[in-house]
Structure 1
Amino acid sequence: MPSISTSPTEEPRRGEDAVAPESPRHTDENSLQQLEFPKIVEKLASLLATPFGVKELARMEFAADPQAVREALDEVVEMAGLLDGGYPVPLGGLNDIRPHLERIKPENAYLEVEALLEIKSNLQAMGELAHFFREHKDETPRLAAYARGIHYHRNIVQEIDATVDPGQPEGIYDRATPELREIRIKIRSLEAEQAKALRQVQKRYAEYSQDEIVTLRDGRMVLGILPNFVQKVSGIVHGTSGSGATVFVEPMETLQLSNQVQNLKIRERTEIIKILRFLAGLVREVREDLYFGIRNIAMLDFIHAKARLAREMNAAAPQITERAHLKIANGRHPLLALKMGPGRVVPLSLELGTDFTTLLVTGPNAGGKTVAMKTIGLLLLMARAGMLIPADPDSEIPLLSNVLVDIGDRQSLEQDLSTFSAHIVRLRDILEKADERTLVLLDEIGTGTDPREGSALAIAILSELAEKNILTIATTHHGELKAFAHQHPRVENGSMEFNLETLEPTYRLRIGVPGSSYAVEIARRYGLPEPLIQQARRHVGAAKDKLEALIIDLDARIQELEKKNRELSIKITEAEGMRSLYRRQSEELKRSKQALKQQAAEEAQRILQDANALIERTVKEIRQSGADKSAIKAAREAVQAQKEQVEAILAAPETAPEAESPLLIKGDVVWIESLGEEGELLEDAQDKTKVRVQVGNVKLNLDAAGLRKLSKQPSESRVIRTVTGEQVDARREGVKPELDLRGMDSQEAVEATDRYLDQALEEGWEEVRIVHGKGTGVLRRRINEFLSRDKRVEEKRLGKWGEGDTGVTVVRLRKDSH
């Protein structure tokens, strides 16, 4: 990645005044309008945070260089990582100071106080922004490169702070210069003398005064005199009040003092201009550097807007390829994702450019054909413009040089063109411009004229595009085109799924299956008389009716197979879960058996030790008693009691207590022969080979023949702790300082993180890594939200360059939280 120099004479990577490289071929304006790309641009504009980003947005290009596109996408991924991690970028508080910078270009130019304060505020905001990216340079190296071109210029801020204050006269401190201080001292002294003299004059003219008014007019102190008595006051008239009830007169007695004050104020303004020129000169010295910083801020703002847009759409960075191969995995229409939320938009998946280059999509009206086609065009344009797309990160976007579109009614009254003629003119232009580096999108090809002739033209056009290996997606209702797509080796059928029970579209795109228009079926549903329906079928013709019927029957079979496939997938998942559960339970039983053996060995050792101690004690007592009969008898009885205790332990059954009754009903406590455990029956066992049993926190399906009823009642207080295989492995191998959440959904990931933090604290780890991957950013946001609220977390940050970047969150744990 090229670095950004901090020299004001060098340009940023995409500077405002830089000479733009020769632009690649752009998508024409008609195509942009028909795909509604300007609406994406409008949304981006609404997300800009500074006045500088607007110009950068206006300069947006559809890049042709793969490395440039990948770098632009990586920049957005870095910015989105900051936002997902809860680090808001400080782009606020920036005003457009470029007019001020332009105004001080001449050597003697100066700025007024308000402009200087705006510059100071911007410098402070620029310093904060640069500091922010220095703090995050490890996880955002690309963005930090822009920030290195943004400078604070502390000396200018300090000079303005020491000189300018809106609360001071003329906005400048007295201490700004010794000359200004001296002038203002004289002004205040003369104004005090003037006010004293004016009060004395006012007493003399009190009977002529209007409420003893003393005010300023044009910077001079004047008296308010009643109009009828103006001639009685010696002085200079400076005007009247708005109502004419007061005439403002400056008495001759204060005129000389007033003249002196005015002369000093002129000197004051001259001194202030010198100060303002000095400050403007400081700014002028770094003017080019400020322009340079503004251009870098504009780029950061532009990237920030793209990251905010990506978060709203749940977007990810696709793979960029130079070959003409398009792969969309779970792509969603960007504008629909913004309007409805990404979770409510039906995704589409397709691959174009490997087995076939042309996809012909059929299906009913309002079934989503045009939306699907627009989705593909918009995703390609967004990726070329350096925007993340609402699709899975394994999607592949080719850097095609052009997207040519013909969508909608192109009737032109001004050019005297009918709808069909306008389409033909557009198709002619597309055929002239299209090459193997072009994506062509054609909506309702061949419509607007005789269906047979329109179909023939459509087949000819699609054949031409397919022979040139031009990636093409077209929609149609013509049945002849379905057969053409089936026979041509570079063309494939596709269709929008239609629910045959409700006769409503599902908006799912299916590849390899032609669709029906379902016109007759929809007409029947909406109440057209059955005789008309049958007559329509006869007019369609037996062959075509039979073909449509075959398509509908095939559609029904496919939907039924997909339904069964989904059900089978659920059952397979359940079976895998049960197998995993049984495996863990088996491991638990093995460990329990080993523990019991150990316990039995320890018990036997204790009994042996007690027996040896008893024998030694007995022998000692016999010797001490001189073989007294009563002592011998007592010793024999003690040894016999110990022997009976051992025999009772050895004779204890290994299986469950004898069952009271063979009849098992719901709620019974049973002994499970195969597990050697107690459980509670969850259903009546009569006439059943398998029944559900609650064992601890686990529900199992077990053979009824292997269960024996016990006399005890279920114990509510008995808690069996279930230990998962993962937990056992963690205890056996030790908890590692890293948790990999990739492949989990948000809820599973949060639960796994919650358990892992406890284990990590028990293991003694102070810092751990949570691997959530980059992907769409959903998992990263969810995990960071959870960590932000968790009291076990001291601090967290995104991974540094080489640590996993934004795909990893590094967590420091509180030592006292365990």
Structure 2
Amino acid sequence: MIAERALKTLEFDKVREQVSDFCTSSLGKQQIEQLVPEPNFEKVVELLEEMDEGLAILRVKGHVPMGGIFDIRPHTKRAQIGGMLSAMELMEISSTIRASRILRNFIEDIENDEEIQIPHFIERKNNMPILTAVQHEIDHCIDENGTVLDSASVELRSIRQQLRSEEAKVRQKLDSLTRGPNAAKMLSDTIVTIRNDRYVIPVKQEYRSYYGGIVHDQSSSGQTLFIEPESVVQINNEIQRLKVREKAEIEKILLALTEKVQEVANDLFELVKILADIDVILAKAKYGVAQKCSKPSVNNEGYIRLIQARHPLIPMDVAVPNTIEFGREYTAIVITGPNTGGKTVTLKTVGLCTLMAQAGIPIPALDGSELSVFSQVFADIGDEQSIEQSLSTFSSHMVNIVDILKHFDENSLILFDELGAGTDPQEGAALAISILDEVVDKGARVMATTHYPELKAYAYNRKGVINASVEFDIETLSPTYRLLIGVPGRSNAFEISKRLGLKDSIINQAKSYTGTDRREVESMIASLEESRRRAEQEVEEAHEILEEAQQLHAQLEEKLSAFNEKKESLEQKAKEEARKIIEDAKKEAEHIIKELREMQQNANQVIKDHEIIEAKKRLEDALPAENPILKKQAKIRERAQNLQPGDEVKVLSYGQKGTLIEKVSDNEWVVQIGILKMKMDESDLEYVKPEKEKQRITLTTVKNRNSHVKLELDLRGERLEDAIMKTEKYLDDALLANYSRVTIIHGKGTGALRQGIQEYLKKHKRVRSFRYGEAGEGGLGVTVVELK
């Protein structure tokens, strides 16, 4: 257990207050008030892991449903000893059970999310008692305002119905009196009110005898009497009797519900504990988010490394962060420097961060910080900064130090502020050195601040001890609060005095009074400080260059990755296009070869030379051309070989058609365009097929027949038998004409013709498929047929 004195000295209670502000229930606040650092290493690891899970939940989900939780432990304890719970207390129990169910469902949802791992929360969720049945029984009888519902029992509903009926009667009678002819004169106000749980009307003093009945109250002036008229006394009596019955029935219901609570009292205590634990964990996490804290790693080797740590009780925009490391090569730090320079704040920062980590609270430092788990933390820190400290102050400090030296061990963290101060400087320095020797020899971790120059040399000569100082800006005459480890503090009295206007002669005379050794030490310290500042500047510049190089490297990698992805994509696309071109070429070639074979089989028919030449040209065109220039040259050569006098051509440069008259040279033709005749280069001519040759080459027996076969067959008005005959003939003609799709128009009508035609199409061997027409094709009135 960490000593209470250290907690108070380091103001750990103020950190607890800040954390408790983030609790959502009184349960969590009470637990935070009793929070103390854990000395057990395994327990500290668990606490920090739980808190880190809370941070992860807040980062992913943003919030955790923790509303509706009450401290129901007093209610549960009273139920255990046989007391009757009130409706409001039962409502709080129901609300707490409901809150636990909502929280359990929330954690179960996260449990299925692979993005976040929360084993400690899942374990607590699994340990939550399920008390839904008790909650439902309470909710059936009591509403969220703590009122017993009519539905709580059949008897209560009956009583309340009678009660409402009687109340309506008495109000009706009293309302008739307030609306009577004499009401305005005899009543102080025409209203019905209640006194002593009985309905009354306000009657003027002088008309008391007119209404008779019972006087229950009077106004402060005595001029108005609140009278229960005789006509409603019996009804009011009945109302009171029903209210007594209602109260008894409510007590019966509450006792029954209290027994239910009594049966699950132990489960309720366990549930409250789990909810309080979760509230505390989330409060720590919320505090960490608000204060920009991080989870430190921990060890049990006495090693401390705080990266840019701030004092948690100083506002973020004011606190100066410092990096502090010790516990391995050196186990003690001696900090020297001027007053108000931040030495005490540094001690408290290390002490408070250690206590916070051991309590499972995130620390105000950057990621990567590491702290040790100590069995004891001791602090001798005084707030007084005067150089005129009295003997009593020295004595009180020494009493505390003596107590520390009695109880510390090698697993302790000790913080000394102004060690040995308040007495003769020579004796004080000697005591300080002796005390540090005692602590360092036992292996404890220690930080001490001092004014004594003797301790600067001690830190240089003593193994395991290092000097440190708080930086002071001579230009502004103010501390920077930056901790410089490895450099002792030096006196700035001469520099400050000079800046403030003290004569140089006085300063030089003062310097002459100081010893040579002292001046050499001060000069050495000044040189160390300058070297340190220069090294820090160089490190910062190197860090900036490294960051720029890393950014440039990342950008180049990203661009290279994007280039490779685009390259692969284009290569894949090119391969697909090439494959498609080759497949299309193969299909076209096969089709042309089939036609040429048909021509060969039908050699006895008349086939013109240009038809064979055209088929050959199509076959050559089917080959994929890799070079468009070569392909163009091939076309030019092809045109030169195939052109003959009388052929119709297109003059490319003019965009006009003409007829070849004669060839006058190897590459020139005389072309007649209209009434003009001119010489044209062969490369500027393109062969144009005559209209009669533009149809696909087929068997001579069906040559030109396709020009008479329409793309649609109109059967509207036909009988089914005639329509099927016409459809059969039409499909044969369409197949001979090499049509791949035709349209049959049958109209909508009764649908008999359409159905008969489609039944026939189903059985036709050369029909690939058929469908109704689209909106722009005729809809249900046509059938579009795909042919094989």
- With normalisation by structure 2, the TM-score equals 0.68
1:303 — aligned with what? 281
Shift of 1:71: 1.1
2:636 pairs, out of 585, 610, 614, with 614
Letter in 2 for 1:614: I
1:278 pairs, out of 242, 246, 256, with 256
CA distance in 1, matches of 2:498, 2:681: 98
Shift of 1:424: 2.4
CA distance in 1, matches of 2:90, 2:10: 46
CA distance in 2, matches of 1:214, 1:611: 114
2:316 — aligned with what? 340
SS of residue matched to 1:427: helix
1:328 — aligned with what? 306
Query: Deviation string for 1:732-763 (max 9, x for gaps)?
Result: xxxxxxxxxxxxxxxxxxxxxxxxxxxxxxxx
Shift of 1:119: 3.2
SS of residue matched to 2:413: strand
Q: Do the aligned partners of 1:205 and 1:233 also contact (CA within 8 Å) in 2?
A: no
Q: Do the aligned partners of 1:92 and 1:125 also contact (CA within 8 Å) in 2?
A: yes
CA distance in 2, matches of 1:480, 1:572: 42
1:163 — aligned with what? 141
Shift of 1:294: 1.2
Q: Note if 1:217 corresponds to 2:195.
A: yes
CA distance in 2, matches of 1:199, 1:622: 123
1:465 — aligned with what? 439
Shift of 1:280: 2.7
Shift of 1:385: 0.9
1:809 — aligned with what? none
2:158 — aligned with what? 182
CA distance in 1, matches of 2:118, 2:86: 39
Shift of 1:502: 4.7
Q: Do the aligned partners of 1:124 and 1:152 also contact (CA within 8 Å) in 2?
A: no
Q: Return closer, same or farther for 1:500/1:235 CA change in 2, 3 Å cut-off.
A: closer
Query: Deviation string for 1:696-720 (max 9, x for gaps)?
Result: xxxxxxxxxxxxxxxxxxxxxxxxx
SS of residue matched to 1:515: coil
Shift of 1:403: 1.2
Letter in 2 for 1:340: M
CA distance in 2, matches of 1:214, 1:136: 59
Shift of 1:296: 0.9
1:511 — aligned with what? 485
Q: Return closer, same or farther for 1:541/1:580 CA change in 2, 3 Å cut-off.
A: same
1:454 pairs, out of 428, 431, 435, with 428
Q: Note if 1:477 corresponds to 2:455.
A: no
Gaps of 5+ in 2: 575-623, 648-659, 671-679, 685-788
SS of residue matched to 1:273: helix
1:267 pairs, out of 235, 242, 245, with 245
Q: Note if 1:126 corresponds to 2:100.
A: yes
CA distance in 2, matches of 1:163, 1:550: 84
CA distance in 2, matches of 1:256, 1:235: 11
CA distance in 1, matches of 2:682, 2:277: 94
Q: Note if 1:52 corresponds to 2:87.
A: no
Letter in 2 for 1:631: D
Shift of 1:198: 6.0
Q: Return closer, same or farther for 1:586/1:627 CA change in 2, 3 Å cut-off.
A: farther
Q: Could you tell which deviates more after superposition, 217-226 or 524-533?
A: 217-226
1:567 pairs, out of 541, 563, 585, with 541
Q: Could you tell which deviates more after superposition, 499-508 or 587-596?
A: 587-596
1:375 — aligned with what? 349
Query: Deviation string for 1:543-573 (max 9, x for gaps)?
Result: 2123212211231233123323433444465
CA distance in 2, matches of 1:575, 1:50: 50
Shift of 1:434: 1.9
Q: Return closer, same or farther for 1:528/1:42 CA change in 2, 3 Å cut-off.
A: farther
2:528 — aligned with what? 554
Q: Could you tell which deviates more after superposition, 298-307 or 523-532?
A: 523-532
1:81 — aligned with what? 56
1:355 — aligned with what? 329
CA distance in 1, matches of 2:285, 2:562: 48
1:762 — aligned with what? none
* Matched residue count: 603
CA distance in 1, matches of 2:321, 2:333: 17
| Bigger Rg, structure 1 or 2 | 2
CA distance in 2, matches of 1:482, 1:246: 92
Q: Return closer, same or farther for 1:634/1:330 CA change in 2, 3 Å cut-off.
A: farther
Q: 1 or 2 for the larger relative contact order (CA 8 Å, sep ≥6)?
A: 1
Q: Percent identity?
A: 36
2:4 pairs, out of 4, 8, 29, with 29
Gaps of 5+ in 1: 1-24, 642-818
CA distance in 2, matches of 1:471, 1:132: 44
- Show the 5 A alignment for 1:366-765: 366-409=340-383, 417-499=391-473, 502=476, 504-571=478-545, 605-621=627-643, 628-632=663-667
Q: Return closer, same or farther for 1:120/1:640 CA change in 2, 3 Å cut-off.
A: closer
CA distance in 1, matches of 2:503, 2:625: 89
Q: Could you tell which deviates more after superposition, 48-57 or 389-398?
A: 389-398
Query: Deviation string for 1:187-214 (max 9, x for gaps)?
Result: 4455555566667888698676555665
- Show the 5 A alignment for 1:230-269: 230=208, 234-269=212-247
SS of residue matched to 1:52: helix
Q: Do the aligned partners of 2:296 and 2:357 also contact (CA within 8 Å) in 1?
A: yes
CA distance in 2, matches of 1:398, 1:56: 24
Query: Deviation string for 1:304-349 (max 9, x for gaps)?
Result: 111011112322222221222223233222223xx125xx644333
CA distance in 2, matches of 1:373, 1:196: 80
SS of residue matched to 2:365: coil
Q: Return closer, same or farther for 1:621/1:304 CA change in 2, 3 Å cut-off.
A: same
Shift of 1:592: 12
SS of residue matched to 2:523: helix
Letter in 1 for 2:69: L
Q: Return closer, same or farther for 1:603/1:546 CA change in 2, 3 Å cut-off.
A: farther
SS of residue matched to 2:32: helix
Shift of 1:70: 0.9
2:65 — aligned with what? 90
Q: Return closer, same or farther for 1:521/1:116 CA change in 2, 3 Å cut-off.
A: same
Q: Return closer, same or farther for 1:196/1:557 CA change in 2, 3 Å cut-off.
A: closer
Shift of 1:50: 0.3
Q: Do the aligned partners of 2:307 and 2:368 also contact (CA within 8 Å) in 1?
A: yes
Q: Return closer, same or farther for 1:592/1:171 CA change in 2, 3 Å cut-off.
A: closer
CA distance in 2, matches of 1:111, 1:151: 21
Q: Return closer, same or farther for 1:152/1:418 CA change in 2, 3 Å cut-off.
A: same
SS of residue matched to 2:80: coil
Q: Do the aligned partners of 1:110 and 1:280 also contact (CA within 8 Å) in 2?
A: yes
Q: Return closer, same or farther for 1:275/1:541 CA change in 2, 3 Å cut-off.
A: same
Q: Return closer, same or farther for 1:71/1:421 CA change in 2, 3 Å cut-off.
A: same
Shift of 1:295: 1.1
Q: Note if 1:100 corresponds to 2:89.
A: no
Q: Note if 1:293 corresponds to 2:268.
A: no
